[in-house]
Amino acid sequence: MIKVMVADDHPIVLAGLSALVQSDSDLELVAAARSAAEALGVSTEPDIAVLDLHLPDSDGISLGAALKRRWPRLRVVVFTMHADDRSVIRSLGSGLDGYLLKDSDPEDVLAAIHSAARGTLVLGRGAQAAVVAAATAAPPPTSLSMLDSRDLEILGLLAQGLPTSQVAARLFLAPKTIRNRVSDMLDKLGVSTRDEAIMLARSCGLGNRPNRTGQEAREQPEP
């Protein structure tokens, strides 16, 4: 059973999304929040969180990143009316797992939840265009050849969605060292932001996670 949290400040959308989740016998609705504060107050760990991009006290991307820091195996899909390029790139650069438009058909929303639970990156129609545009504008994959093995290790962990503190702990380095190396990497890759570097890394296969269901992921030991 895949445990699902949904968050949206519009009561009708929240009710409809909740009902849709409950209509699938393989999904269990564990929380329906109307704000980031409510979502952060949930005690039951979900496998999937479907979050509105615009909440009254935060945005879905920041909330999703916070929830993933709390529950590292959580998959997060942003659910919104509009697919502006900046929000799509920011959500993926923050380590979130999907971006879906609210005009999607109900069966597509359910399919997206199941796909995200298996570890697949989920992109709605409008979001796909933003990613294609970013990939076209990014340096070619051979740019990664400019990085040494430690750079690639750091970038791969960042592409998995790990925050700087966790990357530092994994590699037994200081967070300041990670930040300094990331800054150097941006120059080597010819990009301006960390999000662009992460997008490039993912397009080259760095940071790919195995396709596991939420339950299977729970059964894996901590690295």
Query: Tens digit of pLDDT for each residue in 171-184?
Result: 989 999 999 999 99
Taking every pair of Cα atoms in the chain, the longest distance, rounded to a whole number of angstroms, is 51
Please state the CATH superfamily assignment of the domain spanning residues 2-135 in this structure.
Answer: Response regulator (3.40.50.2300)
> What does the domain layout of the chain look like in residue ranges?
2-135, 138-203
Pull the structure tokens for residue 100.
């879906």
Q: Are strands 58-59 and 27-33 parallel, antiparallel or unpaired?
A: unpaired
* CATH, domain 138-203, list 2.60.120.260, 1.10.150.120, 1.10.10.10, 3.40.190.10: 1.10.10.10
**Pure H helices in the chain:** 11-22, 36-40, 60-70, 85-93, 106-117, 125-137, 149-159, 164-171, 175-189, 194-203, 214-218
Question: Tens place of pLDDT for every residue, the chain, 223 residues?
Answer: 999 999 999 999 999 999 999 999 999 999 999 999 999 999 999 999 999 999 999 999 999 999 999 999 999 999 998 877 778 888 887 889 989 999 899 999 999 999 999 988 888 877 776 666 655 454 444 467 778 878 888 998 998 888 999 999 989 899 999 999 999 999 888 888 888 888 888 877 676 543 333 333 333 333 3
Q: Are strands 2-7 and 122-123 parallel, antiparallel or unpaired?
A: unpaired
Query: Tens digit of pLDDT for each residue in 121-134?
Result: 888 877 776 666 65
DSSP 147: S
